[in-house]
Structure 1
Amino acid sequence: MTNSPRTPEPKAHRSPEPAPPATSYPQVTANINPNQAPPAIEERGPGVGAPETPDPGHAPTPAPLAPADRARLLAGEHHDPHAILGAHPTRTGVAIRVLRPFARAVTVRAAGIRAELHDDGDGFFSALLPLREVPEYTLQVTYDDANAEDPHTVQDPYRFLPTLGDLDLHLINEGRHEELWKALGAHPMTHQEVTGTRFTVWAPNARGVRIAGDFNYWDSTGFPMRSLGSSGIWELFLPSVGEGERYKFDITRPDGSHTLRADPMARRAEVPPANASIVTASHHTWQDADWLEHRADRPVHEAPFSVYEIHLPSWRPGLTYRQLATQLPAYIRDLNFTHVELMPVAEHPFGGSWGYQVTGFYAPTSRMGTPDDFRFLVDALHQSGIGVLMDWVPAHFPRDDWALAEFDGRPLYEHEDPARAAHPDWGTLEFDYGRTEVRNFLVANATYWCEEFHIDGLRVDAVASMLYLDYSREDGEWTPNAHGGRENLDAVAFLQEMNATVYRRNPGVITIAEESTAWDGVTRATHHTGPGGFGGLGFGLKWNMGWMHDSLTYVSHEPVHRKYHHNEMTFSMVYAYSENYVLPISHDEVVHGKRSLVSKLPGDWWQQRATHRAYLGFMWAHPGKQLLFMGQEFAQGAEWSEGHGPDWWLLDPSYSAEPDHRGVRDLVRDLNTTYTATPALWQRDTDPAGFAWVEGDAAEDNVLAFLRYDSDGTPLLAISHFSPVVRHDYRLGVPTRTLNKEGIPAWQEVLNTDLSRYGGSDVRNPEPLKPESVPYHGRPSSIQLTLPPLSTIWLRPE
């Protein structure tokens, strides 16, 4: 989508300017003797001229502007406008030159002097002031439709020194500026005791860059930026420009054509489909110090971690960030999820992409409010004891011609090889991870969200598409790496650097990979080399896509056929400890014709809900962390749509007096409550000694039973039964003692997905089950219990 900035309403302190002239510019010269001495002036101290006169007339003009410089400035191709514009000492006085298109008159004012500049044509005005040093001065600009008695008084942008230091430029060139957002973009600031905004942008291939915005009525002619050496950075400080102003960069491409681009480092953007960048600064006062102080107290893989995935714009359609802050934390806390995961919140032009085609990597989407409004939401979640994860998309970006694609006229953020740049699945462009500045842009972006918005974790989207050069490509469509392999070595190095940087700078933050292959070492430390010769990627957790696919395939079969697919429920334990896993039932599984979770399941409505509950019970007991997408916590039957969000009306008692949807939600609440209170279910998720099969081969019965152990050896017994029949006197072998106890007197049912309040048939084991000295399943003792239909039950030692 492409949108031109809308014309802003005139502001009282500005004079509207007409459209810029169209084509060629006449050459104008001035009659001046460069060897003439400056006129005599009254000595009033350094830099002070003659007493101010009410009607000064025209001051003498300096040497004429070289035709090449004039042409380059007017065409937006000058790399050093500060050398031409502004005030400069000469042998004959201080020469001042201004570019103000469509101005009728320009007057310079300094201490003790006031002089009207000569109109040199094409918007140029100049004068030779009888001064020995450059004074502090202002400009008074009069336009045709303005009152000549009340001219527009402005500071001259071209009298200011650069706002970026050598260290910033060095770090950017090295690709090691970990706080890049503080150096590039638009920053309100005070510079040389003047308040304004610093604009900086990386555009190394540009012949010139200018700024267009509300403050100049989107005519960039008079606002060329300067190039800071070989860094590729362009910079300009604009006095009096402040928060709320919209802007873009007018870039002259290598071929001389122009493109108007949003700021890649913009920290705020217009509400789509408009796409201008907005000057912003944060004024939020954080209240989550206690949360941040204790966030790193316990490693995430040894802590409870159950995640509610949400698409913010559609969770409660129409709510702002601040309105969400009054509803979302209460809902998450009521269901006892430990974390919420937000689908991408970075700015994106098309709502139907759900945020996965990002154009504003540093700007929270403005659809629901300002960046500080988003901070307010994160703060509210933290104050409610809820961690905040965010989907992050460094794998690709869209081709919108106002955003990153060929940003300065040539491939810049994307790979220069078109075959490497084009993402084969989504019609987007892949980043050039081998370019230091691009890698820096992304690494800094990861830390930006953690540090500026206190995000607790990044779930990195589409990692597999980054890791493989042949991803979704046929033979002949990709080029092997330097070693002849299919691995994208640049992407590997980028992910390692990103993870190492995020963990070093932000204690307690977690990174999570959505990686759908068997890449070795996704959650291994970056300094540990695996069998493939690569260091670990350094992620904290990885989505277990294999478990998700296999388990959903199993439960989608009719119960009578599940015995032929029993291994799909047990195979995950073959590799469960090869990585640190999250078990995801995400948005990807309930869209595009895949149906919602409950609708995937066979049978009538009762059996579908029962299987849904049993599956969740199995998921919460299985080694690994849990993630559930919104709507699945109450068994929504329809696929999710970003247009209307979850079907909340299903929870209204007036819809149904039966505890069907409400019962599933009550179960999720109890699953989380029991899970969090039971260390056996999370403390040893990455330790094989924390798990033991009791019955993994009961395919005919559709039964799976296993033990989970905490660090003290205290067990929890989980039994999932995926048949619609009741099984009485079902015998299971159990341990006779824990590590710190002589024995286990009895087993007590602590969770049963078949309870009537969940919508089940209420088949239970109400009394403690005492072990009998009957060897079973390789254990000296066993218990007999009743298995409810299509259910999961959890038992703990009494």
Structure 2
Amino acid sequence: MALRDTSLPEPSGVARCAPAPPLDPVDRGRLLAGAHHDPHALLGAHPVAGGIVFRALRPFARAVSVVTDGERRRLASEGDGLFSGLLPLDTIPDYTLVVAYADGEQEVHDPYRFLPALGDTDLHLIREGRHEQLWKALGAEPMTHEGVTGTRFTVWAPNAQGVRVAGEFTFWDGQAFPMRSLGSSGVWELFLPGIGEGARYKFEITSRHGDRFLKSDPMARSTEVPPATASVVTSSRFEWGDQEWMARRGEVPVHEAPFSVYEIHLPTWRKGLTYRQLAEQLPAYVRDLGFTHVELMPVAEHPFGGSWGYQVTGFYAPTARLGTPDDFKYLIDALHRAGVGVIMDWVPAHFPKDDWALARFDGDPLYEPGDSRRAEHPDWGTYEFDFGRVEVRNFLVANAVYWCEEFHIDGLRVDAVASMLYLDYSRDSGQWSPNVFGGREDLDAVAFLQEMNATVYRRAPGVVTIAEESTAWDGVTRPTDSGGLGFGLKWNMGWMHDSLGYISHEPVHRKYHHNEMTFSMVYAYSENYILPISHDEVVHGKQALVSKMPGDWWQQRANHRAYLGFMWAHPGKQLLFMGQEFAQGAEWSESHGPDWWLLDPAYGAEADHRGVRDLVRDLNTAYRATPALWQRDTDPGGFRWVIGDAAEDNVFAFLRFDAAGSPLLAVSNLSPVVREDYRLTVPDGLPLWQESLNTDAARYGGGDIVRRDPVKAEDGALRLALPPLATVWLVPVPG
């Protein structure tokens, strides 16, 4: 819609510029429609016959003047918010604009007098899909450019006819600030003087079909608090204090180090706390319980809290629900200074269809494949990423690097890897097309995962990548140079499924499922594994861990404790979701989080819940102090069955060995009766053994069938009274 000419009478003492040559009608129309690829060629200052023409696009302005050498000259209104004039100059001078509105006037720098604030090297790397610090090239970057402070806005939108910046500073109208297209890169750029941190903005895109819509910035490093959806200009001023942690975190390979993970959902761990408030409580809690790491369910910005963070719209922005990006860094820094590593769930498999975010970003499929059979994820109602497009792969690879470099993240747990690897994942016949070799493997996704892992390990020493992958795909944790996907660790979903199936049976039936507890050792060394009891296992009717257990309340807690003792001794690292460390009976819900009141002594929870939490603390303490439990997790020589076939007894016993050959004996009696005088073979030359942990101890809420004195090996074996529904660890007495 054309704007009426609201020009003012000439101010006293201000001369008027000579008339400027008119714009080409086609160029003028495209400019005003937000569909011009090079507005800088029309706006700003340009040499013409007779001098220098100045042209400004200022919708709703009543008058615009140009100021050169202290002299102010009035531009003429061309209508529709365009103002122009000609000065008899030989060269383009330094100048500013004075723009008069109904409520006053302001002197500003003209955005259209600046050269691009993005270099050729950046554009080359973007075109190649190899810009490993993409966040420094795209998005909103506060800077000083040609001596002027402001913000550089850049966005990748190769199919757009035009892109404009809209924000609270334009009353969400994009007319005044069209961006220029930088060659064949698909990148649009505009430097806006005077716009700084805290400014809210979006990109107004005109598609090649003529549609116009607002999109949040895919590279935004800060956002409004949902449900608001604007991007926010930000710049970090955080000063890290975790130098010691960062210097030593990569000294020992993760598969040869203790690795015990506490998984939490930050918004509900202590509901209502901000990042900085969490920093006052979470590090101390995790350190007290002895976990080596926390794993944070996705913290990248997401519109729907009920997705738990797994439907991401702001891949480069920590959720604003809990504070600013620097506040999030404060939390990570506090965890590091407490000696706790930080793993973050990362979701490169898919993204939601919200029309203000990534979906059909420039009016056409861009981040998602153009083929509808591959674009939509059938399980989650989301779009999958187009892993075959180099710019999309770059967006994701750089995002992985971003969290590691900018936020000092120590590990990325990659969600839903299986859904990425298979073209027919959750699809029936006719709903998918095979790869070039006729197979079901998504070769583009494989290449992306290999590139991501190789890049992260090269750029961020000490970081570990972890695959949530539930199939028998070969080589998930094999190095990329050997044809593997290159992950450091993989969730052992088979162990989780089988062991939970076993432990949920009544003891009288467990003998028929004995192999569900032993089968994991058939493949335990095929990958580098983590044993996960994650959020997925304690929601949506699956029940909390303790509630999966059979029997009365005492038996449920005993089963729970015995299971954790078995889990911590089994080869592989371990992960436990919040609330399960104190045997919360209710499923987790994002509406209220863990039931912390169960730990209140006034409730009488000393043995019921606090006892289980004390066991978890002692499990972690003994685990970290016993190299046999973690040093040879990926070495078959670090494990030996002592009793693996006692199905009738519901007993499992095995030895773990450290690099020097020192053993730990783990025995689980998962029947509800005491097994008296039970014979367990032990290595020769170790005559005395001592309990280092017993899940039946009274302080954990057990029956206290414990052995406080060392037990002597006779004829190469120990004879023990095995407590019911309990796990016991024994180690040789030194000397």
TM-score relative to the length of structure 1: 0.91
Greater alpha carbon shift after TM alignment, 213-222 vs 614-623? 213-222
1:165 to 98, 114, 119: 119
Distance 2:378 2:622 in 1: 44
Distance 1:616 1:681 in 2: 14
- SS of 2:622's equivalent in the other structure is helix
2:363 to 397, 409, 415: 409
Offset from partner CA, 1:143-175 (integer Å, 9 cap, x none) = 12x24xxx2111100000001111100000000
Residue type matched to 2:537 in 1? E
2:553 is the counterpart of 1:605 = yes
CA drift of 1:658 comes to: 4.0
1:770 to 709, 712, 730: 712
CA drift of 1:27 comes to: 12
Residue type matched to 1:102 in 2? F
Distance 1:676 1:625 in 2: 11
2:698 to 756, 777, 783: 756
- Equivalent residue number for residue 682 of structure 2: 734
Distance 1:332 1:56 in 2: 69
Q: Which runs of 5+ in 2 are unaligned?
A: none
1:657-696 to 2 correspondences below 5 Å: 658-696=606-644
2:286 is the counterpart of 1:332 = yes
- Equivalent residue number for residue 574 of structure 2: 626
Offset from partner CA, 1:86-140 (integer Å, 9 cap, x none) = 0012231110000000111111111142101101111000010121111111111
Distance 2:556 2:221 in 1: 46
Residue type matched to 1:463 in 2? V
1:513-532 to 2 correspondences below 5 Å: 513-528=467-482
- Equivalent residue number for residue 422 of structure 2: 468
Distance 2:386 2:214 in 1: 22
Offset from partner CA, 1:21-43 (integer Å, 9 cap, x none) = xx357999xxxxxxxxxxxxxxx
CA drift of 1:745 comes to: 2.4
2:595 is the counterpart of 1:647 = yes
Residue type matched to 2:589 in 1? S
- SS of 1:248's equivalent in the other structure is strand
Contact 1:746 1:768 in 2 (8 A): yes
- The alignment of Structure 1 onto Structure 2 pairs a total of residues equal to 729
1:368 to 307, 322, 335: 322
- Root-mean-square deviation (Å): 1.1
- Equivalent residue number for residue 34 of structure 2: 76
1:298-697 to 2 correspondences below 5 Å: 298-528=252-482, 535-656=483-604, 658-697=606-645
2:92 to 134, 138, 153: 134
Contact 1:269 1:363 in 2 (8 A): yes
CA drift of 1:315 comes to: 0.2
- SS of 2:204's equivalent in the other structure is strand
Residue type matched to 2:663 in 1? P
Greater Rg, structure 1 or structure 2? 1
2:658 to 697, 710, 727: 710
Distance 1:782 1:286 in 2: 54
Contact 1:754 1:761 in 2 (8 A): yes
Over 3 Å off, 4+ runs: 24-28
1:43-192 to 2 correspondences below 5 Å: 55-144=13-102, 146-147=103-104, 151-192=105-146
- SS of 1:551's equivalent in the other structure is helix
Greater alpha carbon shift after TM alignment, 756-765 vs 103-112? 103-112
2:721 to 786, 789, 795: 786
Distance 1:434 1:100 in 2: 42
Residue type matched to 2:95 in 1? Y
- Equivalent residue number for residue 6 of structure 1: none
- SS of 1:429's equivalent in the other structure is strand
Contact 2:163 2:205 in 1 (8 A): yes
Residue type matched to 2:558 in 1? A
- SS of 2:382's equivalent in the other structure is coil
CA drift of 1:57 comes to: 3.1
Contact 1:97 1:127 in 2 (8 A): yes
2:249 is the counterpart of 1:295 = yes
- SS of 1:584's equivalent in the other structure is strand
Contact 1:434 1:490 in 2 (8 A): yes
Distance 2:241 2:92 in 1: 48
Contact 2:599 2:606 in 1 (8 A): no
Residue type matched to 1:562 in 2? R
Q: 1:571–1:657: structure 2 CA closer, same or farther, 3 Å change rule?
A: closer
Q: Which runs of 5+ in 1 are unaligned?
A: 1-22, 29-52, 529-534, 737-742, 774-780
CA drift of 1:408 comes to: 0.1
Identical pairs, percent:
74
Offset from partner CA, 1:542-576 (integer Å, 9 cap, x none) = 00000000000000000000000000000000000
Residue type matched to 2:255 in 1? H
- SS of 2:37's equivalent in the other structure is coil
- SS of 1:425's equivalent in the other structure is coil
Contact 1:211 1:224 in 2 (8 A): yes
Distance 1:572 1:583 in 2: 10
CA drift of 1:766 comes to: 1.9
Contact 1:27 1:67 in 2 (8 A): no
CA drift of 1:727 comes to: 1.2
Distance 2:477 2:93 in 1: 60
- Equivalent residue number for residue 730 of structure 2: 795
Distance 2:35 2:461 in 1: 46
Distance 1:657 1:570 in 2: 34
Contact 1:140 1:153 in 2 (8 A): yes
- SS of 1:103's equivalent in the other structure is coil
Distance 1:348 1:461 in 2: 15
CA drift of 1:657 comes to: 5.1
Contact 2:598 2:605 in 1 (8 A): no
Residue type matched to 2:336 in 1? H
Distance 2:406 2:92 in 1: 40
Distance 1:186 1:764 in 2: 63
Offset from partner CA, 1:655-674 (integer Å, 9 cap, x none) = 11541100000000000000
CA drift of 1:618 comes to: 0.1
Distance 2:711 2:306 in 1: 53
Greater alpha carbon shift after TM alignment, 309-318 vs 58-67? 58-67
- SS of 2:702's equivalent in the other structure is coil
Distance 1:459 1:331 in 2: 22
Contact 1:464 1:515 in 2 (8 A): yes
